[in-house]
Amino acid sequence: MEDLSFRHPVRARAGGARRSAIVGVVASGNLEVLVERVLPDAECAVEIKTAAVGFGEVWSAVIGDFVERYSPGGLKFSINDGGARPDTVSLRLAQAVRLIAENGQ
């Protein structure tokens, strides 16, 4: 296992009112993303525990593009990864943002 952690300044606060949301499952080639609205509006953090060791650079690129594109201000993402491919990671992150942007608790 490898732990990775990223912090990014963000342009704008993520939309919606939900406090937290979760998408995905931990399985081979899959991951879960827990997103929580716990940070200041101009910050975003991503914490990763991954079964695939040695892919820090790829994660960095994936997270960088994701933050750029979705501006998830105020959100902390916690990821348990079963060795998912980068496109799956991008998709789950986007799904997490969509879910937390829905109305609800």
Partner 1 sequence: MTAPLKDVAPAERARSTSFYEASARTRLELLLDAGSLIEFIGPGQREVSPHLKIFDLPEQFDDGIVVGHGRLDGSPVFVAAQEGRFMGGAFGEVHGAKLTGLLRAAREIGTVPVLVLFDTGGVRLQEANAGELAIAEIMRAVMEARSAGVKVIGLIGGRSGCYGGGGLIAGCCSALAVSEPGRIAVSGPEVIETNRGVEEFDSRDRALVWRTMGGKHRRLLGAADVFADDNVQDFREAALELLGLVGPFGLDRLKAEQDRLAGRLRSFGACGDAIDIWTAEGIADAQAVPELPADQFIALANRIGRTSRDAR
Partner 2 sequence: MTSWQNNRAARDARIAAGSSVARGKIVEAHDVTRLLEAVVRPGDRVCLEGDNQKQADLLSRALLAVDLSRVNDLHMVQSGVVLPEHLDLFDRGVAKRLDYAYSGPQSARIARMLFGGKIELGAVHTYLELFARYFIDLTPHVALIAAVSADREGNLYTGPNTEDTPTVVEATAFKDGIVIAQVNEILETVPRVDIPADRVHFIVKADKPFFVEPLFTRDPAAITEGQILTAMLAIKGIYAPYSVQRLNHGIGFSTAAIELLLPTFGERLGLKGRIATHFALNPHPALIPAIESGWVRQIHSFGSEVGMDDYIRARSDVYFTGPDGSLRSNRAFCQTAGLYACDMFIGSTLQIDLQGNSSTVTTSRIAGFGGAPNMGADARGRRHPSEPWLRAGAEADPDSPAPLRRGRKLVVQIGETFGDKNVPLFVENLDAIELAEKLKLELAPVMIYGDDVTHIVTEEGVANLLLCRTAQEREQAIRGVAGYTDVGRRRDRGMVARLRERGVIRRPEDLGINPLDADRSLLAARSIKDLVRWSGGLYAPPSKFRNW
Site for partner 2 in 44-83 (CB under 8 A): 52, 57-58, 61-62, 83
DSSP 3-state assignment of 85? coil
Site for partner 2 in 7-46 (CB under 8 A): none
Q: How far apart are CA 42 and CA 80, in angstroms?
A: 24
Binding status of residue 27 toward partner 1 by CB under 8 A: yes
Would you tell me how many other CB atoms lie within 10 Å of the CB of residue 44? 25
Q: Which of 8, 30, 45, 85 binds partner 1 (CB under 8 A)?
A: 30
The CB-of-40 to partner 2 minimum distance in angstroms stands at 27
Sheet hosting strand 75-81, strand order edge to edge: 2-9, 43-50, 75-81, 31-37, 20-24
Binding status of residue 50 toward partner 1 by CB under 8 A: yes
Binding status of residue 86 toward partner 2 by CB under 8 A: yes
